[in-house]
Structure 1
Amino acid sequence: MMSKFQELIKGETPVLVDFYADWCGPCKTLAPILDTLKTDLGNKIKILKINVDKNPKAAAAYNVRGVPTLIFYHRGEIKWRKSGVIPLPELKKMVSI
């Protein structure tokens, strides 16, 4: 999984990674916001959802301590990371390249 992940985040298309858990209330709040973001931006962004309970190694590798944690990559570089729910208008501004 990690090599495919590395390949994906190094591409031209920006990637927003959502570390989440099924039991997490704020993650459930964030999910439809991310769906709307994907609908609005289409192919301009990739959104990866990583379940921390099913992928503890990935969560540990990226030092994810709480969920939801969003990490935004462009050309393999972390542009920002933020924990918690981000409103759609703010999120749209944060992912515009």
Structure 2
Amino acid sequence: MIELNQNNFETEVLKASGYVLVDFYSEDCSPCKALKPFIHSLEKEYEGRLKFGALNVSKAIRLAISQKVIALPVIAIYKAGVKVEELVGADANRESIQEMLVKYAALKE
């Protein structure tokens, strides 16, 4: 999992080829902490089909705001610099995340 920040977000996410999952989280967010092991397991499962990154919004507040992250957790999919889908708060659960990944892993770049 790529640890994203203000310095690499553009290159690793916005200019990346293919689909990129971004886990927007905070160390203070209990649901974020609960999802982290699951997200890491998905990274192994979808290796080579999707790129995975995580952004600690507490360390990149302006970047998070620019990406319209106003609640946590947020699990978002990007393609060609555009956020194409996101799951926010209670909608960011294991089942919904898995469904979202199945859909985008099946699409051709």
Length-normalised TM-score, structure 1: 0.83
In structure 2, C-alpha distance between the alignment counterparts of 1:79 and 1:6, rounded to whole Å:
16
Please list every run of 5 or more consecutive structure 2 residues that lacks an aligned counterpart in the other structure: none
Identity of aligned residues (%): 27
TM-score for the superposition, normalised by structure 2: 0.75
Compared with structure 1, are the counterparts of its residues 79 and 38 closer, same or farther at alpha carbon in structure 2 (3 Å cutoff)? same
Q: Could you say what the CA RMSD is over the residues aligned between the two structures, in angstroms?
A: 1.9
Q: Distance in 1 between matches of 2:66 and 2:60?
A: 10
1:8 correspondence with 2:8 = no
- Bigger Cα displacement from structure 2, 87-96 vs 60-69: 87-96
Gaps of 5+ in 1: none
Specify the code of the residue in structure 1 equivalent to 2:22: V
Cα distance in 1 for residues equivalent to 2:59 and 2:77? 21
Equivalent pairs counted in the alignment come to 97
Find the aligned partners of 2:103 and 2:36 in 1 and give their Cα distance: 17
